[in-house]
Chains A and B, each alone.
Chain A
């Protein structure tokens, strides 16, 4: 009869109470596993949304560009963008190099002028790797890199009262401070998930942006899309080194460095789920502590007997802790099975979640099988049950033997 076997029999001794405590552990574990899976899905969705909505996995630009020191468009543009793009494209993990020109200006329909945030881009690779082309609600995406067209956010189009096929005039200041203007045709309208951006969004071809800004081959930055599974943190120093070897000095940032919004949302989610997890642990702790205190009180005389027979106090404590661990393990196994079952039901229920922050449309509910959450659940439940067992057990084990033997 090992200590573990004795603990197992004591767990089975009061089945109803053990089932109740085990049930609390099952609930706690399942809640952590499912919440973790949901959180993982949300982070993945948000990450993918951030990368595919224009940020890409990596961006390379002049250090002053990232510092926000640019007073005018292309003031710190990359002069050798073509060569840099070619070097970056040679890396086996790079799927696409997207040159972009960021600029601001005014769009006018002849009677009304509205400020915009413009991006000049290469339409074909952008359509392959980014979601902007998929956000079109009317019209079409650009046909080639020199098309004199624009895609407007639907909010901006409303403000200008234009639709696909209409003509606009774009006004912008060149890096030399000269005001330039060009006519462009509205190719399509896109619904940008973030309302404030939707009211200012304007995309155009690199050709039109270069002509408007007199860019002379310069771009604001190079956005990199990596092949999946992408490891931006590992790729950044490697690609910077490649550029440096070729004499091109630029700064680089990962999508996570650039996605302030993603980081804020992540912290918010972690705070919310962390608090929920803490509440769960406290609930499980109280329930389990109550069970263990009752078990210790009921078995006071037996504890006295075991000690009289020569059992050390630490062994008594270990026995109760083993009981707690057994309940934790059984509860976690039950919780894992229930989590998997609930996850299967939810994932096949066809439910749609409200859109996460920054996203226009709801997404289908899919709770990930997030192994880390399962491990965290098991760890949290085991630690909680050990703590809940240890204190009453220690107290019982230290009670004077004759007092324990006289307990009725």
Chain B
């Protein structure tokens, strides 16, 4: 499969006061088109840090990161923002929907950033919300939605600009078992139907079981890889 993202020797160190904490220590990783990759590992192993670096939410201290073979290390904030808008989708553990916007408006937001017309935004948001099973909740604000519904809105939002990669950090951590399964079913279906790469971080075995490829992180390093299905 074609490589979209490639990280080589990625390092990231945080500082707790004067004490350096190595979150990632020389990680090599490749994200391929339309794959379903799960990063697993215990808390503090570096999963979230790696997701943040891959999604251009943070900058590595060392190593290189290339998107379609082009280094993104030296891009300024605006260029990185544009890449996030156009090439990536994000699903967060706590859903992170904008409270003052309806479900439809939340989905429309990334499209608005890209300059899509109001009509096009409305049409696509309706289509995406229908795909995640929330047609009847289009005009409902997030505070009136259940956790599963919010996460489905977040998935629809992540798909808004037809990204190549959706990065999801612990997407099922705040959901009950049944809802988590529904959300994972939805992600798997989208992955297959739309050929969008998914990179999930989780230590939930049910999530790992869905993966085409699993990378295990331990103390900021890749400790192993597998392909469960």
Contact = CB atoms under 8 A, between A and B. Distances in A.
Interface stretch (A49-57, A172-180, A309-317, A372-380): A309-317
Interface stretch (B1-9, B33-41, B83-91): B83-91
Nearest to B167: A308
Given A401-B57, A402-B52, A402-B58, A310 B98 contact: no
A236 B109 CA distance: 64
A319 to B, nearest CB: 11
Interface stretch (A6-14, A286-294, A351-359): A6-14
B186 interface: no
A311 B58 contact: no
Interface string A93-135: 0000000000000000000000000000000000000000000
Number of chain A interface residues as a range: 20 to 34
Interface string B70-98: 00000001100111111000101000101
Contacts of B84: 308-310
A405 B98 contact: no
B115 to A, nearest CB: 12
Contacts of B92: 305, 405
A308 B93 CA distance: 14
A310 B113 CA distance: 7
B90 A13 contact: no
A266 B189 CA distance: 77
B81 A312 contact: yes
A165 B101 CA distance: 88
B220 interface: no
A9 B101 contact: yes
B112 A1 contact: yes
A315 B101 CA distance: 17
Contact of B96 (A6, A12, A405): A405
A307 B88 CA distance: 12
A301 interface: yes
Contact of A9 (B100, B108, B157): B100
Identify the interface centre among B52, B82, B161: most chain A CB within 10 Å of its CB: B52
B46 interface: no
Contacts of B78: 312-314
Number of chain B interface residues as a range: 20 to 34
B18 interface: no
B171 interface: no
Given A1-B108, A400-B58, A307 B98 contact: no
Interface string B97-132: 011110001001110111000000000000000000
B57 A306 contact: no
A302 interface: yes
A302 B82 contact: no
Contacts of A301: 96
B55 interface: yes
A65 B158 CA distance: 85
Contacts of B161: 310
A312 B86 CA distance: 13
Tell me the interface secondary structure of chain B in the complex: helix
Contact of B113 (A10, A12, A309): A309
Interface string A131-171: 00000000000000000000000000000000000000000
B100 A10 contact: yes
A232 B188 CA distance: 84
A311 B85 CA distance: 8
B101 A6 contact: yes
A309 B57 contact: no
Contacts of B81: 307, 310-313
A10 B81 CA distance: 23
B100 A308 contact: no
Nearest to A397: B77
A309 B100 contact: no
A401 B81 CA distance: 11
B113 to A, nearest CB: 5
Contacts of A304: 96
A309 to B, nearest CB: 5
Contacts of B58: 400-402
A309 B96 CA distance: 11
Interface in A176-226: none
Contact of B77 (A6, A306, A309, A313): A313
A1 to B, nearest CB: 5
A10 B98 CA distance: 10
A233 to B, nearest CB: 53
B90 A308 contact: yes
A314 B110 CA distance: 16
Nearest to B105: A1
A312 B85 CA distance: 10
Nearest to B157: A309
7 contacts: A10-B100, A13-B99, A304-B96, A309-B90, A309-B109, A310-B84, A402-B52
Interface of A: 1-2, 6, 9-10, 12-13, 301-302, 304-315, 400-402, 405
Give 4 closest A-B pairs by Cβ, nearest first: A310-B85, A9-B100, A305-B96, A310-B84
Given A302-B98, A311-B81, A401-B58, 10 more contacts: A1-B112, A12-B100, A13-B99, A308-B96, A309-B110, A310-B82, A310-B114, A400-B58, A401-B57, A402-B52
